[in-house]
A and B are shown apart, each in its own frame.
Chain A
Amino acid sequence: MTTLFTPDHEWIRVEGDIATIGVTDYAQSQLGDVVFVELPKIGRQLKKAEAAAVVESVKAASDVYAPITGEVLEVNETLQTDPAQVNTDAGGAAWFFKLKIADKAELEGLMDEAAYAAHTA
């Protein structure tokens, strides 16, 4: 299972034709204390680069974009009650939503871990 990254600091983990999406640890460190997460509705058809979710820190609100096109299958409801999980486990338990991948070719433009590390260096 590979994890890919966007320049906008989302991560995307692909299993079969399902992608799990969250924000990176670098992103949460820049955001600061996360106090609210707004998730997309299940069934919503997201286009690549469309604003899909919102993460709000004490300081500001930031959009989370869909890294690829697809239908929202599932959202992480625990972030509604425990948004601070984004700060403690951004790359794991604090995933945001899962998409049914519409076009696997869109994955090719994303960064691998090494490229993302260089991007945030």
Chain B
Amino acid sequence: MLARDDQPTPPLKRTPLHALHVARGGKMVPFAGYDMPVQFATGVLKEHLHTRAAAGLFDVSHMGQIVLRPKSGTLADAAGALERLVPQDILALAPHRQRYAQFTNDQGGILDDLMVSNFADHLFLVVNAACKAEDEAHLRAALSDTCEIEVLADRALLALQGPQAEAVLSRFCAEAASLRFMDSKPLPVMGLDCFVSRSGYTGEDGFEISVPASAAEQLATALLDQAEVLPIGLGARDSLRLEAGLCLYGHDIDTSTTPVEASLAWSIQKSRRHGGARPGGFAGAEVILDQLDHGAPRSRVGLKPEGRAPVREGAQLYAEADAADPIGQVSSGGFGPSVGGPVAMGYLPAAIAARGGVVFAEVRGQRLPMKIGSPTFVSPSYQR
């Protein structure tokens, strides 16, 4: 009954915390070319619930950390250059603030989603592991005229997430508690040269901490020694972000989905839209601005299965239980431990997404009703 994976795989990369994961009983699996812990002995369900109840520590060192430094010395030159690649307002991003963004292609599709921080004299980007090589090439091709582009391969990235994250991190970094949601700045943690942002990808309050690779294990061990903190694997990271309605690149968003279709229009500031100060001027602007004005043909929505059966990625969606042709599909789905039942998100034609009500997912030959709604199944507890 268990799937066996006997396929030969290329050698996997390791994060600076690999040995710690193994020592702590992490069940290691390949992910985006890295050997990563999918869970620890606690198990996915309890790791998920623990993160929402106390604090969880995630190794996200596989993600890419990139610095864009303006050759002119003027940050606005780097910010303006980056605006050619993303539909977000980077010029107005205040020092020590962070913003969610997407690299778009000429068709308005999403090449990757990322976080951009203003570090006063340079920009700091965090991009997805699976896309980081392409992202670097994309940045070098497009921005080398204005920016020095440096990939920080010698840094690890930890996420400390959950309602106790502030109390825990404050023991090692006095200034942590003064950060608000989406603040992001270089700060010493245990005296180490870290970058700390008050953000994450779980729907919880928390922090992401970029730390020199050589000190990553020292910091992770100190955080894990705190009574509130458990190590959390990628399994719970996925169920946490799914319940919070957050997109996973390659699943909920990719080059075939625009930010508007993906219900990420909230992340595109007015200044970059028609009627704004700097409308367009980014890859795919024609498509994206038109969709902002007139609507997109389809939308990402939350889908709550009415029964108990999880409805997973790839399940076809139908308008009626006996309809012949699918109208969309599930992009992410599974069991939401905090919801206590199955949750999913997927794409539907805009008219049906707006109408709401029920659609039917095909699972093992049965048509299961799913209620259309917001993809956010748990209320975020961000500290704004």
Please list the residues of chain A having a beta carbon within 8 angstroms of any beta carbon in chain B.
8-10, 23, 27, 30-33, 35-36, 38, 54-65, 80, 83
Q: Does B364 sit at the interface, judged by CB under 8 A?
A: yes
Query: Which residues on the A side are within 8 Å of B235 (C-beta)?
Result: 32, 58-59
CB <8 Å contact, B1 and A27 = yes
CB <8 Å contact, A35 and B335 = yes
CB <8 Å contact, B335 and A38 = no
> A99 to B2, alpha carbons, bound, how many Å?
22
Report, nearest first, the 4 A-B pairs whose CB atoms are least far apart: A33-B45, A35-B335, A58-B44, A8-B1
Query: Which residues on the A side are within 8 Å of B39 (C-beta)?
Result: 32
Q: B217 to chain A: closest CB distance in Å?
A: 26
Q: Does B281 sit at the interface, judged by CB under 8 A?
A: no
Query: Which residues on the A side are within 8 Å of B43 (C-beta)?
Result: 32-33
> A9 to B2, alpha carbons, bound, how many Å?
8
Q: B340 to chain A: closest CB distance in Å?
A: 10
Query: Which residues on the B side are within 8 Å of A30 (C-beta)?
Result: 2
Q: Does B19 sit at the interface, judged by CB under 8 A?
A: no
Q: Does B189 sit at the interface, judged by CB under 8 A?
A: no
Q: Does B138 sit at the interface, judged by CB under 8 A?
A: no
Q: B184 to chain A: closest CB distance in Å?
A: 31
CB <8 Å contact, A80 and B308 = yes
> A31 to B27, alpha carbons, bound, how many Å?
12
Query: Which residues on the B side are within 8 Å of A55 (C-beta)?
Result: 1
Query: Which residues on the A side are within 8 Å of B376 (C-beta)?
Result: none
CB <8 Å contact, A38 and B364 = yes
B282-312 interface (Cβ within 8 A of A): 308-310, 312
CB <8 Å contact, A59 and B38 = yes
Q: Which chain A residue lies CB-closest to B46?
A: A33
CB <8 Å contact, B2 and A8 = yes
Query: Which residues on the B side are within 8 Å of A65 (C-beta)?
Result: 1
